[in-house]
């Protein structure tokens, strides 16, 4: 099943209490595809400037990521600079330079309009809608967004929600969008806007899959060392959608397992600076960590207990 992601391909400068990095590979489409490619081939649509280190992209994951849909435009690549607090619980954006991203109008390359699994990374909801106009017969469309669009493009975002199957946001975004501090009511409000499922990411606490009449909760993997939370949400989305595409599935049961693959990929993402958390991570490593999630959440039956 073909998997497509549209999002940012950026250069990140990140400061954490444990170190810093400048102009490293980043952006939602990069984190998504590095994670997804551990499970299923993925095609990327995005834009970079003529200063982007393309050879690093291709070196990043020699197999499974098709960067052919990443347009090269004259000018500077999208750059983000951020600094995390001592406990990594909050971050401050120091600088955002859109560069060529400011004029990004996603155009699907030949063949991509047939994509069945589609992730619309966090970009202008009008552009996300524009991508949906170009795809022909999607099986599962998921999208992300952020506070900036919730505030500035609410109508376009609501139009988008009416057309996607799955919204993936963090808890602060769910609360802001719905205007409700109770996360379960917020999830129900979001479902009413269109998507049949809502994933709410809760950082170190895990994530919820909310749908009509039922909720599924998965904890975060218990990590004693967290180096850089950047990209964890996009890696989660990559693990989730990579698993769904691999299985060719759309059911709740498949999505529950996809939540575990998402959490697994999020845990790799935060274990190293930028995308380096995925260095050397094999399919076997992923499978092993998925099994650890099963053990982490296993409730024994009520039979004889000593």
Residues that bind a second copy (CB under 8 A): 86-87, 89, 181-185, 188, 202, 204-206, 208, 214-219, 222-226, 247, 249-251, 253-254, 256-257, 260, 293-300, 302, 305-306
Query: Nearer Cβ to a second copy, position 115 or 258?
Result: 258
Question: Would the CA dihedral through 228, 238, 73, 134 be positive or negative?
Answer: negative
Evaluate whether 44 touches 70 at the Cβ level (below 8 Å): yes
The β-bridge relationship of strands 140-143 and 65-73 is unpaired
Residue 74 or 213: the one with the smaller Cβ distance to a second copy is: 213
Take residue 100 and report the two structure tokens written for it: 């060529």
**Measured from the CB of residue 188, what is the shortest distance to a second copy in angstroms?**
7
Helices (H), 37-153: 54-60, 125-134, 147-152
Count of residues in the chain: 306
Q: How far is the CB of 72 from a second copy (least distance, A)?
A: 39
Least distance to a second copy, CB of residue 50, Å: 41
User: Distance (Å, rounded) from C-alpha 180 to C-alpha 244?
Assistant: 30
- Nearest-approach distance from CB 263 to a second copy, in angstroms: 11
Query: Can you tell me the distance from the alpha carbon of 99 to that of 73, in angstroms, rounded to the nearest whole number?
Result: 10
Residue 119 β-bridge partners: 5, 142
Q: Which is nearer to a second copy, 71 or 204 (CB)?
A: 204
Taking the least distance from each CB to a second copy, the nearer of 131 and 269 is: 269
- Residue 172 Cβ, how far from a second copy at the closest point, in Å? 12
Q: How far is the CB of 184 from a second copy (least distance, A)?
A: 5
Cα–Cα distance for residue pair 3/247, rounded to 1 Å:
12
Strand partners, 81: 13, 95
Nearer to a second copy, 196 or 297 (CB): 297
For a second copy, the closer of residues 160 and 190 by Cβ is 190
């Amino acid at each position: 099943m073909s998997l497509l992601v549209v999002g940012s391909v950026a250069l990140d400068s990140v400061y954490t209490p444990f170190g810093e990095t400048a102009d490293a590979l980043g952006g939602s489409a990069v984190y998504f595809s590095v994670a997804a490619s551990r499970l299923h081939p993925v095609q990327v649509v995005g834009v970079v400037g003529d200063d982007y280190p393309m050879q690093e992209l291709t070196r990043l994951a020699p197999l499974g990521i098709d960067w052919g849909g990443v347009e090269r435009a004259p000018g500077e690549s999208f750059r983000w600079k951020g600094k995390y607090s001592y406990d990594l619980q909050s971050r401050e954006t120091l600088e955002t330079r859109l560069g060529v991203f400011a004029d990004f109008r996603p155009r699907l390359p030949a063949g991509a309009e047939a994509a069945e699994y589609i992730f619309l990374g966090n970009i202008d909801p009008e552009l996300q809608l524009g991508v949906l106009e170009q795809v022909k017969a999607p099986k599962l469309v998921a999208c992300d967004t952020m506070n900036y669009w919730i505030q500035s493009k609410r109508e376009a975002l609501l139009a988008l929600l009416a057309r996607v199957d799955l919204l993936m946001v963090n808890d602060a975004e769910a609360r802001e969008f719905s205007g409700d501090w109770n996360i379960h009511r917020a999830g129900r409000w979001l479902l009413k806007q269109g998507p049949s499922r809502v994933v709410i990411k809760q950082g170190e606490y895990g994530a919820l899959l909310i749908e009509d009449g039922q909720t599924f909760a998965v904890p975060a993997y218990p990590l004693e060392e967290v180096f850089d939370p950047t990209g964890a949400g996009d890696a989660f989305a990559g693990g989730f959608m990579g698993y769904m595409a691999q299985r060719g599935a759309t059911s709740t049961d498949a999505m529950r397992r996809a939540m575990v693959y998402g959490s697994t990929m999020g845990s790799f993402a935060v274990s190293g600076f930028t995308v380096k958390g995925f260095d050397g991570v094999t399919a076997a490593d992923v499978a092993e960590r998925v099994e650890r999630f099963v053990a982490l959440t296993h409730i024994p039956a009520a039979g004889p207990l000593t």
